[in-house]
Chain A
Amino acid sequence: MTAILDIQDVRKSYGSYAALKGVSLSVNQGEFIALVGPSGCGKTTLLKQIAGFEEPDTGRIAIAGADMAGVPAAKRPTSMVFQKLALFPHMTVAENIGFPLKLRRTDTAEIKKRVGQMIELMQLKGEYLTRYPRQLSGGEQQRVALARSMVSAPKLLLLDEPLSALDVKLKKVLQAELKRLHRSVGVTFVHVTHDLEEAMMLADRICVMRDGAILQLGTPADIYYRPAGSFVSGFIGETNLLPITISERTSSGLIYQAADIVDTDGRIAADLVAGKVAKGPALLMLRPELLRVLPPGETADGAIAAEVTEMFGKGGTVQYRARTPGGQMLVVEIPGTSSLPMRIGDKVRLGFTKKDIYVFGVEA
């Protein structure tokens, strides 16, 4: 696999504010990558450097092997879908989609043909061609914006939170649409979003950013089950973080103590531990759906005693909150049809399997 986009140690400051503090990232041809993080994390800044609206202070950006330094946005083989869509309000749908071709001096018949293909690809109706953007619904405008970005056959499609302004239902439809589009055209997508759930649905790899730096780069499953730290783990869904103390670290794993956990051997294998963890305090992560209620007498790799304090039905599953004797709150999610339903006030034992846990250091 060849890298279509190669970013080497890119830094960018606005006055005294450092928006990107040395970012390196390599994206493969045909990949769908999501840049995720809270607002101000630098994800949109990074996208602007890739698109060429801004030049990084230092570092190198290469697209398809060519260094992009000094190449303006107009000359880069990239195409952007903007958060506010940025359709030209004074042009019809056909003029909007055909605009990149018109600028490349493509002849009229060819423009017409390619615009027609785009309309078909985006599943828009032919009669929309003569309408103006304001006469279309939000979802239709979105498709027009995508069509305009795709028409010039870019090597990289950059998406700057294009779905963030839509209502939940339409968002779901367009997420599926994006996924389909990515599969059918084979173009590399770089998708910026603050919604990790969206990134999980769409992306092959996710790049989590914070404060102008990359925290973690990995597959959706990595991000969910093997987060690099408590920030990433808390960024999607709910999770349980139990404080533990590591007394010994060896090449095969580590030995730990924890107030509330009854562990069979007190050991954790090395592949369940984030890289940097050393001796001392650390956090043990357990996703709510990986905890189960232990029937009396049954044992598990690890068990935690707790008292149920709250419960919420979530449709297919039921979520409980429980407190350990040490005062730690736990979230547990079990199927609604579970043979061991719990009630508020019940004292229970919650068990987990060793391979489901993950350990990382305490962040400052």
Chain B
Amino acid sequence: MADEVPRSWRDPDLLIKALPTVLLQTTCFLAPLVMTFLLTFQRSRNFQLQWSWDLWTWTDVFSKPHYWTILGHTIFMAAATVAICLIIAFPIAYGLATRFKAWENEIKVLITFAFITDATLKIYGWALFLDKNGMANYALSSIGLPPEMVAFLYTDWATLLGMVYSLSAFAIFTLYLSISNIDRSLILAAYDAGAGKFRAHWEVTLPLCKPGIWAGSVLIFLLSVGAFLEPKVLGGGKSPMSAELIRQTFETRVNWPLGAALTLVLMVVSVFIVLLFSRLIGLKRAGLAA
């Protein structure tokens, strides 16, 4: 399958294939990240960037609890999103891997389409649905229920709903992959050992799809700390999350160094949390490998 002997970087075959990616991701991903880091040592005066090379911005970041409250809120929402996504994804992924065989492709098409459709549209659709004069309330009151029962638009609950909506497909796909890789005979062996169906899955399926659970959790967590549309459109911007704070810092306050610092803080804290958990769970690189 793979090479038996490592190739030299002078091999033209390797160069043609790997170099474009290396160039693209170093110049348009790594270099911007490094520059973002360097920007945090500058200052912003009168909406202009000044190359001052000091720790002024970092002092600001660490002295204002406001930023950290928002960060804490963001992490909390992200963690909640991960938990809910996993819970709702498990039965779907399990069904896809085992019971829905006849409809497997149709179901995958439906899920993929919903997943790949642009987030702006879907969030906008939710806003129209949940609005106090929206679909949900209209439907409920037309069957005789009191008006405006659905009233959680512009709360954290709506934000959470949007985030789960946008990201749960990741959990479905990663769990589906790892469940379909489980050897069926292991579960049969568990039945044979006298376990009931629930017990068998609890003891066999769940532990074996740990890598899938982990990969899905990491992806969802990292992507949801950057959520922006959901808190803005569905949460009504009332309890801002980090992404919104960062965007405002750039756009409204035009403070690039501060925005850069807040971006880095968000990334570093998220990655740190992921690493901490992977150490706790004892799955070092399963997430990346999957």
The chain A residues found within 8 Å of chain B, CB to CB, are: 14-15
Contact = CB atoms under 8 A, between A and B. Distances in A.
A319 B5 CA distance: 48
Contacts of B4: 14
State the 3 A-B residue pairs at the shortest beta-carbon distance, nearest first: A14-B5, A14-B4, A15-B5
Contacts of A15: 5
A107 B155 CA distance: 74
A127 to B, nearest CB: 32
3 contacts: A14-B4, A14-B5, A15-B5
Nearest to A13: B5
Contacts of B5: 14-15
Interface residues of B, number: 2
Nearest to B6: A15
A116 to B, nearest CB: 36
Contacts of A14: 4-5
A144 B193 CA distance: 48
Nearest to B5: A14
Nearest to B4: A14
B12 to A, nearest CB: 15
A15 B5 CA distance: 7
A330 to B, nearest CB: 43
B276 to A, nearest CB: 38
Interface string B261-273: 0000000000000
A24 B4 CA distance: 24
B272 to A, nearest CB: 38
B270 to A, nearest CB: 40
B7 to A, nearest CB: 13
A14 B6 CA distance: 9
A14 B5 CA distance: 6
A332 to B, nearest CB: 43
Interface in B2-54: 4-5
A262 to B, nearest CB: 55
A348 B5 CA distance: 58
B5 to A, nearest CB: 6
A138 to B, nearest CB: 22
B8 to A, nearest CB: 13
A14 B4 CA distance: 8
A72 to B, nearest CB: 14
A354 B162 CA distance: 91
A232 B4 CA distance: 29
A67 to B, nearest CB: 23
Nearest to A15: B5
A363 to B, nearest CB: 30
Nearest to A19: B4
A14 B7 CA distance: 12
A15 B7 CA distance: 12
Nearest to A48: B4
A14 B2 CA distance: 14
A20 to B, nearest CB: 14
A346 to B, nearest CB: 47
A194 B4 CA distance: 21
A15 B4 CA distance: 10
B100 to A, nearest CB: 26
A165 to B, nearest CB: 17
A50 B91 CA distance: 55
A14 B3 CA distance: 11
B53 to A, nearest CB: 48
B11 to A, nearest CB: 14
A46 to B, nearest CB: 15
A39 B4 CA distance: 16
B6 to A, nearest CB: 8
A289 to B, nearest CB: 43
